[in-house]
Amino acid sequence: MRTMQRIEFFNYPVSEQQPDLLWGIRIDGTDLRVHAADATRELWRQESAERSPAEEERFLLLQHDGLPDWGIADAGRHFLGAPAPDFADSATGSTPVLGCSCGVWSCWPLRTVITVTPETVTWSSFRQPFRKEWGELPMGPYVFDRPAYETALAEPVRFAEDPLVVPAGTPR
């Protein structure tokens, strides 16, 4: 029997000045942005080695942000692999699960293929569309129990601020 991961969806405001909500994700208790940082660390090092360790870590962790609630429209459909047309990529069948930290999700999205069966939801084939040479990122596949997934999606945790922990000495 395959081990299934645990997913947690959460919402947090863009900033203190902008209360619009973003969708965040944790897999097995770890923020998806941390998984993305780990998966892209060596790829970024090949492109630029000019950052200090603290600057590199900050860059990696903050390269992505959550997806805007106002853009997704129907999170239930989106995170079950049927995103709104503006988010869909018919060529790859992928769905964005993280956006760019600049505030424009499509500037630097993390995309994945979401496959749904009656029992499971699987995220696989993570890619950064603006770095095609990177190919499939070393993340996942993540397999979730569908009933637990749908419950987590229907009841996102609400945070007063972005819960991403940035290491000490790494300014946000």
Q: What is the pLDDT of residues 11-48, one digit of tens each?
A: 999 988 888 999 999 999 999 999 999 999 988 888 77
The reported pLDDT for the residue numbered 71 is 84
The reported pLDDT for the residue numbered 168 is 61
* Higher local confidence (pLDDT), 121 or 48: 121
Q: How many separate domains does the chain show?
A: 1
Domain extent at residue 115: 7-158
**Residue 93 within a domain:** yes
Q: pLDDT-derived band of residue 1, with 50, 70 and 90 as boundaries?
A: low
Tokens of 119: 């029992």
**Residue 164 within a domain:** no
Percent of the chain with pLDDT over 90: 64
The reported pLDDT for the residue numbered 151 is 98
**Residue 118 within a domain:** yes
Helix ranges (DSSP H) in the chain: 32-47, 53-61, 69-72, 75-78, 146-154
The reported pLDDT for the residue numbered 166 is 81
The reported pLDDT for the residue numbered 40 is 93
**Residue 143 within a domain:** yes
The reported pLDDT for the residue numbered 170 is 52
The C-alpha angle 167, 171, 172, rounded to 5 degrees, equals 90
Q: What integer is the mean pLDDT of 147-156? A: 98
**Is residue 75 predicted with pLDDT exceeding 70?**
yes
- Integer Cα distance of 66 and 98 in angstroms: 5
